[in-house]
Amino acid sequence: SSRGFIMQSQLRNGIAGLVTSETDAVNLERLEVIKGPSATLFGSSLTSYGGLINRVTKKPYDRFGGELAVAGGSYDFKRVSADINTPLDADKKLLFRLNTAYNYEGSFQDQGFTRSIAAAPSLSYQPTDRLSVNVDAELFFGRNTVKPMFFFYYPAADLGASRAEELNIDYKKSYTGEGLYQNTRSTNFFGQINYKLADNWTSSTNFTVSKSFSDGFGAYFYLIPDNIMTGNDADAGQANYLARADQSTGNSTSNMFEVQQNFNGDFSLGSLRNRLVIGLDFLRANSDQNFFSSNFDVVPLNVSDYDYSNFNGTNMAAVYAAGESVFTYPVVNKTNTYSAYVSDVLNLTDKLSLLAALRVDQYENKGGLTGSTNMEVYNQMAFSPKFGLVYQPIKNVISLFANYQNSFNNQGTYNAYNAAEPTTGLPTMAELEQANQLEGGIKLDAFAGKLSSTISYYDIRVKNILRSDQRAPAVAQIQDGTQLSKGVELEVIANPFTGFNAIAGFSYNNSKYEKADVDVNGRRPATASSPYLANLWLSYRLPETAIKGLGLGLGGNYASENKILNSVSMGEFSLPAYTVLGASAFYEKAKYRLSLKVDNLTNERYWIGYTTMNPQKLRSIIGSVAYKF
């Protein structure tokens, strides 16, 4: 999460790039994280109020080269990857690069695996100094079991626990048999045409076609209080029974098509420098997903000789074939979003710059089906502004910055309170849900680049949230809900002497519902994650010595207690705070690289989740060998 909101990676090089499950990083150059509401330049469909993650991919270059690598390690981990780059003509105007990998890993538990194949070809053509064309593809194919996930269908008090470690769950058991896997595919195609219109003006035309597919099982679990199973009230307040269930997808697809046109100008009006972006964007999203689910059975927890393997693919398929107690939930929807935006960074002096930007979205929901509910067809227009200021009291050393950012969500229609017929509700078009952020901070770049740090404070306020209308809570909603998320973030990068690098970060987030349903009002959202987060990574590469090329790294991540249940009706349930350490060592020469890394160095048992409890991998050790050419 970021700044109290769930955030997922849906952008690739600034435009849509769907993935069905975990994305192989074989073609990843770097990740860009932009924090806070960012709809002005990126829209609302692919971002969250917490920000966005943009995958920047590797590009072809003008010489022959590459890398072949193999790796192996804990939990039967195996990986083979290749990065091959070559010019395709003598003038080096046509360049090609291929990144590809095969990956397999078992589980720290008694069942589970992930297998994937990735291929990412990229072609670049520059016929003139003014014109360049780039074409890319991403092909991801996977088969995997869903990582263990425990839901909460009963209040924490009924389970007799308020923290994960208090539950009677075996960390190393999957509670499943074989065959509960799903197949996934993601195929993304991208194109970009860049043209230099004049010395100070460029045109960039981008398009993408993204398709994702999933089919197969998705096992999940929830604990049942003992008294529910035994019928004896004396057994209340403890949970020694586990319900095993499945949510499958059947040939489910999500497709996106996006075309984007940007004009970039860098020019002066008098003594004022302007960096102007004018853009148009069209995004079409098409969802055709079919979910179906059923309970499998209820089993006792941690009986030493109990055989949990009957919860497997063959037996679950038989449950669906019988057709009893099968719940289906289709999600079928089509939307079009037409956008226009403009952004200008104006240098008033060499120390003071201002930013102003505005986006206009025309959103068209073509209707569809969510479960058994028909979605209404509707159109809605949105405006999203952004303003910023940067002042450098000491040029290129200290920068003071402040910004206002906005994002929004289309909520469609809802049932408002109907005074004439209080039991029915009145279909009403919802206003846009809006998130507005104010942020300010200081950035330091000192000692000739040896120390860089940023500290910022942000305040995000969300309004127009739909909540239950207490006049008729069973059938009606009212759109006056609000949520606050504010906090502090600190990042430090230091290179005090040759070969040594330190990266450290800290964040605190205070998020709460300010006007919401009585059940959660005034409480931290169960999806907001840990309020305190910290990270540290130290690395040292030996300088000119007999063992030049040797490097070492050590660091870790900290997360404070995370309330995944936080309501009047369900009580409070927390995942404990954790510190997870990692270490690495490598030896690198011009033609090869040997490396060893250890994740979860201290073998920490820890959990993550948003309203769910998900056990994480124990200590793993991976060694790799790479040949460079």
Q: Does residue 202 sit within a domain?
A: yes
d(CA 327, CA 290): 11
DSSP state of 163: B
Q: Does residue 587 sit within a domain?
A: no
- Cβ atoms < 10 Å from Cβ of 602: 12
Question: Scanning the structure block, which residue is given the tokens 């997808």?
Answer: 249
Q: DSSP 3-state assignment of 396? A: coil
Structure tokens at 205: 């035309």
DSSP state of 48: B
Number of domains in the chain: 1
Is the separation of the CB atoms in 241 and 226 below 8 Å?
yes
Q: pTM of the prediction?
A: 0.94
Host domain of residue 130: 68-258+282-325
- The four Cα atoms 521, 523, 524, 525 give a dihedral, to 10 degrees, of -40
Chain mean position to CA 433: 21
Q: Does residue 254 sit within a domain?
A: yes
pLDDT of residue 21: 59
d(CA 208, CA 187): 10
Q: What is the CATH number of the domain that holds 109?
A: 2.40.170.20
pLDDT of residue 572: 98
Each residue's pLDDT tens digit, 355-372: 999 999 999 999 999 888
pLDDT of residue 10: 86
Closest to 123 (Cα-Cα) out of 100, 98, 95: 95
Q: Does residue 201 sit within a domain?
A: yes
User: With a cut of 50, which residues of the chain have pLDDT below it?
Assistant: none
> CA angle 594-596-597, nearest 5°?
145
CA distances from 451 to 440, 443, 535, 615 (A): 20, 11, 17, 37
Half-sphere exposure of 601 (CA within 13 A, CB side): 14
Q: Does residue 219 sit within a domain?
A: yes
Structure tokens at 206: 């981008």
Q: Does residue 144 sit within a domain?
A: yes
